[in-house]
Amino acid sequence: MSDSRADLAQALEALLRAIGPPPGPPGQLQAALRQVDDLTQALGPDTPPQLRHFLQRRSYLKALEYLQDG
């Protein structure tokens, strides 16, 4: 897994932990979501369409599973 995809996987894990249960503090959730959005925007043109689809639809668990399986 490339560094950018590893960073994205870590950010997705942090976001899912912040979502809960139990939910994390609102600031933690906002920061985690911002990081995932920033990393999503930085993905290159070689990003698989299915991964891009999951991220655009905010299917974060599916995106994380895709990254872990690939």
* Residue 13 pLDDT grade (very low, low, confident, very high; cuts 50, 70, 90): very high
Distance CA 42, CA 3 (A): 12
Helix (H) or strand (E) holding 56: helix 49-56
Average pLDDT over residues 34-58: 96
Question: What are the tens digits of pLDDT across the range 16-33?
Answer: 999 999 999 989 999 999
Report the predicted TM-score, pTM, of the whole model to 2 decimal places: 0.90
